[in-house]
Amino acid sequence: MEIRLNKYIAESGVASRRKAEEYIIQGRVLINGKVVKELATKVDPFIDVVYVDDVKLKRKEKVYFLLNKPKGFITSTSDEKNRRTVVDLINTKEKIFPVGRLDYNTTGVMLLTNDGEFSNRITHPKNNFKRVYIVKIDKNLEVKDKEKLLSGIFLDKKKGVFTELSYVKERSYRIVRVTSVEGRNHFVKRMFSSLGYRVADLERESFAGISTDGLRQGEYKILSYNDIENLMEK
Ligand code: URA
């Protein structure tokens, strides 16, 4: 994701945005070895090499975190109601954001990154990455409803479907494991509530093949891009 050159220079701490513009006009800024004087120039902070006079700006590094999200956190970078966010759980100086959303009280797999392209790829509906959830509902799931959930239900005129649905424990019909490729807001809850069930507890067990992998709620680990690629189901 490209950003304006003066913004990038300012974020690197070398000069204010306004000063950075002066430097650009004065021909003191190089991108990949070439002087640029055009104020509207954009750079890719992860790829381009920028010099201001003879100071080389630090290129941004892409970072990835795998969090087991606890209850009571919103998946956003800030909140107008001052609720805690999943970003608050991660100790980093990088400007990271959550990849997709989980509800305030949903637990489980949550990825955070500063890599916008990766985030778009993994969340884009056309890429069909699977989300697996463990769902506790308020009453036994009837067989006829199980069939409806697997054949599809219209939510806001768009059909939603679970591609798999199984009971987690023998002889218990209130805890089910569902799989979907949907990223719509409150999707799982809306699927169940459309048939009269209330979701009492929701955990995302895996996303694109990535699971919480022994992390307790609130714990996270750093992944490299290679780790992510290896974990991801293609
Ligand atoms: N579906 C929901 O209803 N909530 C979530 O947090 C995730 C999927």
CATH of the domain at 82: 3.30.70.580
Three-class secondary structure of residue 204 per DSSP = strand
CA of 203 to the centre of ligand 1 (A): 8
CATH of the domain at 34: 3.10.290.10
Q: Is the pLDDT of residue 79 over 90?
A: no
Distance CA(203)–CA(182), nearest Å, equals 15
Q: Which residues contact 216 (CB under 8 A, 6 or more apart)?
A: 68
Q: What is the DSSP letter of 174?
A: S
Distance CA(17)–CA(14), nearest Å, equals 9
Q: Is the pLDDT of residue 171 over 90?
A: no
pLDDT tens figures, 2-48: 899 999 999 888 999 999 999 999 999 999 999 999 999 999 999 99
Statement to judge: residues 17 and 39 lie in one domain: yes
Statement to judge: residues 51 and 103 lie in one domain: no
Q: What is the mean pLDDT of residues 169-194?
A: 94
State the pLDDT confidence band at 234, using cuts at 50, 70 and 90: low
CATH of the domain at 171: 3.30.2350.10
Statement to judge: residues 95 and 143 lie in one domain: no
pLDDT at position 219 is: 98
Domain count, the chain: 3
State the pLDDT confidence band at 80, using cuts at 50, 70 and 90: confident
Among 28, 56, 84, give the residue marking a domain's end: 56
Statement to judge: residues 46 and 77 lie in one domain: no
State the pLDDT confidence band at 167, using cuts at 50, 70 and 90: very high
Q: Which residues contact 222 (CB under 8 A, 6 or more apart)?
A: 63, 64, 65
pLDDT at position 60 is: 86
pLDDT tens figures, 95-153: 999 999 999 999 999 999 999 999 999 999 899 999 999 999 999 999 999 999 999 99
Statement to judge: residues 140 and 40 lie in one domain: no
Statement to judge: residues 158 and 120 lie in one domain: no
Statement to judge: residues 142 and 193 lie in one domain: yes
Statement to judge: residues 199 and 138 lie in one domain: yes
Higher pLDDT, 58 or 149: 149
Distance CA(58)–CA(41), nearest Å, equals 18
Which atom of ligand 1 is found nearest the CA of 189? Answer: 3
Statement to judge: residues 78 and 189 lie in one domain: no
Which atom of ligand 1 is found nearest the CA of 131? Answer: 8
Statement to judge: residues 94 and 141 lie in one domain: no
Statement to judge: residues 140 and 121 lie in one domain: no
CA of 170 to the centre of ligand 1 (A): 24
Query: How distant is the alpha carbon of residue 213 from its chain centre?
Result: 17
Domain holding 169, by residue range, is: 130-207
Among 39, 56, 73, give the residue marking a domain's end: 56
Catalytic residues: 103
Statement to judge: residues 35 and 70 lie in one domain: no
Q: What is the mean pLDDT of residues 172-191?
A: 95
The amino acid sitting at 46 is F
**202 in contact with ligand 1, CB cutoff 6 A:** yes
Distance CA(28)–CA(26), nearest Å, equals 6
Specify the residue with its C-alpha closest to ligand 1, atom 7: 102
pLDDT tens figures, 206-232: 999 999 989 999 999 999 999 998 988
Which atom of ligand 1 is found nearest the CA of 204? Answer: 7
pTM for the structure as a whole: 0.87
CA of 1 to the centre of ligand 1 (A): 28
